[in-house]
Structure 1
């Protein structure tokens, strides 16, 4: 429909990621799981019925997506062309959470709607997929009782913060530009480890802060599931993020480990992950392939989940699972 051109958010990035991976012969259809659309009963686990009913009004969706012309579309078209793809991505995040518990890790190419909470949407986020996934895992997956959210999008993740305001089972680390949307002071009270960046923060300072705080966060809490919310809006020149991080830092930082062994798990759970430069480090085996996928998602979008319970499998045999949306283009 062309409406995506009216907003700087790239709504077609998810399909681009999948196409890139396929063209490079790095994934096949056998390693891709097609997401199922989140049903109303699923959404009601987090969202109020009043909020879901409000989404039946086009002007509400226009406000959430920040695309004014949506206001003039009949709602049946808004549901089909705007909200249904977002519901599929929400279902993808839930599925990725389940796969992370079963297989050790999973990636959802879409999702990461961190501005949406149970009763309000905003910032192009209509459904609270992160909250929904964590609640699903708490309620339905045995042995999952604590979760960590590491949110490195340039914007504050005020949606999941509002949802887990008083829930001590969820640890939130949020790194964001302090001067941009949403500036939600109330939601900040839920952040366990807050890293507020100045306008125009560059590579060296960013790396130092992220590395130090990620390591401290992993030392501080023992979780069963980690949800990593990425985003390209930290890149220099992004019209929304206001930061100045180079692509090289996002793709090729070999000195930023996430050490799962810091969760005080048994020795066979020890696992280390780096951002790597695939130009100088070709994909030689499944372990390097995991590295590759991590940096691809970090520089394209969005939700990366992995479970500490089965991470030992990675060193011996890696089962790759990508969750792809049935409809990659929003409009």
Structure 2
């Protein structure tokens, strides 16, 4: 299974910044020890690909460094050329993983899941919306009739993705998230399942089963899966109470859904803000180990 990674994922941030940037290199170090993983340098997304999902005026502002202070605050990262490069690589890796998964069944971006980015603005540590870009890239560059489902299991609603793809019937957006969590104004996905604070494994997995059942009415040819680590009970921003076992069962359900129906899956790590960074890395790593079980089975 191909895993896309680059050192550009790790952005130097001001002291005390709350984004756990070190998780990417720590995850890479663990992943390199796994049998059956091929680590691939994440390519940068092209301007043309970014424009599949974003306004030209927004792209120009990001490239030129013309984002206002307020726009940078909304993103949560100060502007720098390194920030732009990181954002390009994070989206480019999901595009590359999607194309690799079409051939091989499964592929992973060791970052990505930048689902708060809107067509014309960034938000919540997200600059370019990698899932929306990758879904459109598959349709425009590989197969125009491809039906894509975006299964977003980050604890925060995929508001940017829902907004960008709202009128696109060829892409199904599913978001299972904390109802009382960021973003506090939700957008409308094709299917939203909002969960209460403190939600436990049983209710979470029931909601996922319900969501996957709805996918059967759409009949996707391809799945982009945001495997956020932040529903985990050890997450400081998550507000849900899902055990490590529950997180593994979640991943198994998604990968089994794809395997049973021979639907390729590209997945990204999305959010994770564990009280201890090692907890987040551990959950992300478990997702990749779980996926590997489905590569040998296929």
Structure 1 residues 108 and 176, CA gap change in structure 2 (3 angstroms)? same
For 1:47, the equivalent position in structure 2 comes to 54
Question: Is contact 1:109-1:297 (8 Å) kept?
Answer: no
Task: Determine if contact 1:97/1:133 at 8 Å carries over to the other structure.
Answer: yes
Please tell me the root mean square deviation across aligned C-alpha atoms, in Å.
3.1
Secondary structure of the 2:230 match is helix
TM-score by length of 2: 0.77
Aligned 8 A contact 1:156 1:177 in 2: yes
Structure 2 counterpart of 1:233: 230
Distance 1:294 1:236, change over 3 A: closer
Q: Are the counterparts in 2 of residues 116 and 128 from structure 1 also a CA contact under 8 Å? A: yes
Higher relative contact order (CA 8 A, sep 6+): 1
Match of 1:79 in 2: 81
Partner of 1:247: 244
Which residue does 2:125 correspond to in 1? 124
1:134, 1:147 within 8 Å by CA — same for their partners in 2?
A: yes
SS in 2 for 1:259: helix
Deviation at 1:13, TM superposition (A): 1.8
The gaps in structure 2 that reach 5 residues or longer are 1-10, 265-281
Aligned residues of 1:144 and 1:224 also touching (Cα < 8 A): no
Q: Which residue of 1 is the match for residue 45 of structure 2?
A: 38
SS of match in other structure, 1:106: strand
Instruction: Tell me the secondary structure at the aligned position of residue 3 of structure 1.
Output: coil
Preserved CA contact (<8 Å) 2:222 2:263: no
Deviation at 1:244, TM superposition (A): 1.3
Equivalent residues of 1:151, 1:230 under 8 A apart: yes
**What is the distance in 2 between the residues matched to 1:232 and 1:136?**
26
Q: Distance in 2 between matches of 1:270 and 1:86?
A: 27
| SS of residue paired to 1:149 | strand
Matched ranges for 1:156-175 at <5 A: 156-175=157-176
Structure 2 counterpart of 1:26: 35
What does residue 307 of structure 1 align with?
Answer: none
Contact 1:66 1:123 in 2 (8 A): yes
State the shift of 1:192 in Å: 2.2
2:151 alignment partner, SS class = strand
- Matched residue, 1:57: 66
Distance (whole Å) between structure 2 residues aligned to residue 175 and residue 315 of structure 1:
27
Q: Structure 1 regions of 5+ residues with no counterpart?
A: 264-268, 272-292, 305-310, 317-331
Instruction: Give 1:1-331 correspondences, 5 Å limit.
Output: 3=13, 6-22=16-32, 24-26=33-35, 31-55=38-62, 56-57=65-66, 59=69, 62-67=72-77, 70=78, 78-80=80-82, 82-142=83-143, 144-185=145-186, 187-188=187-188, 191-214=189-212, 216-251=213-248, 256=253, 258-260=256-258, 263=261, 269=262, 296=285, 298=287, 315=297
CA deviations over 1:174-210 (Å, ceiling 9, x no partner): 101111111334x21xx22221100111222212222
- In the alignment, the residues of structure 1 paired with residue 99 and residue 251 of structure 2 have an alpha-carbon distance, to the nearest angstrom, of 29
Larger Cα-atom Rg = 1
The 8 Å contact of residues 218 and 260 in structure 1, kept in 2 or not, is answered as no
Kindly state the Cα deviation for residue 90 of structure 1 after the two structures are TM-superposed.
0.9
Instruction: Rate the CA distance shift 1:53–1:253 in 2: closer, same or farther, 3 A.
Output: closer
Which piece of structure 1 moves more, 232-241 or 51-60?
Answer: 51-60
Q: Distance in 1 between matches of 2:60 and 2:176?
A: 33
